[in-house]
Amino acid sequence: MICIDSNLLIYAFNLSSEFHQNSIKILNDVVSSEGMAICDISLIEFFQVITDKRRLDKSLTNQEAKEVIERISHNERIKILSMTNIILEKAFSAVTEYDIEKYGIYDHIIAFCSLENHIKTIYTANTEDFLRYSSFLQVINPLKI
């Protein structure tokens, strides 16, 4: 199973993104082969970005974004990784070790959700955000493969 960062989901539903078609293919391939995981925090980030008219030329309405998230959460080939008290405790106990500040906490929690759920690979367009976790997480930008 591969964890998907929110940026690939955003590209897949952002019709004006240069990565739109590639991201759709990547997501479909992952879901149909080994299965996909996505963190609940990534779905929140997806909603936040994809409905922001200031950030995207072709944003989704909140209803459209809600429907995308519902389809994801009802797909039996997609596992939603939820933050738990254990994950939060482990993640926050490691903020100094990983030198986490500000918005880096989101990727930090995603990495620890993956670790706790025994997921060893993440697909992201922002590989540099996850390289500090390479001791337990293989970081791949599938848009560059």
Other residues' Cβ atoms within 10 Å of the Cβ of residue 76? 6
What's the CATH class of domain 2-144? Answer: alpha beta
For the question of whether the overall pTM of this predicted structure is more than 0.75, the answer is: yes
- Give me the tens of pLDDT residue by residue for the chain, a chain 145 residues long: 999 999 999 999 999 899 999 999 999 999 999 899 999 999 999 999 999 999 888 889 999 999 999 999 999 999 999 999 999 999 999 999 999 999 999 999 999 999 999 999 999 999 999 999 999 999 999 999 6
Q: Tens of pLDDT along 57-98?
A: 888 999 999 999 999 999 999 999 999 999 999 999 999 999
> What does the pLDDT read at residue 20?
94
Mark 48-66 as b/e (b = at least 16 C-beta within 10 Å): ebbbeeeebeebbeeeebe
**Model pLDDT, residue 57:** 80
H-helix segments, the chain: 6-13, 20-32, 40-50, 62-74, 85-93, 104-116
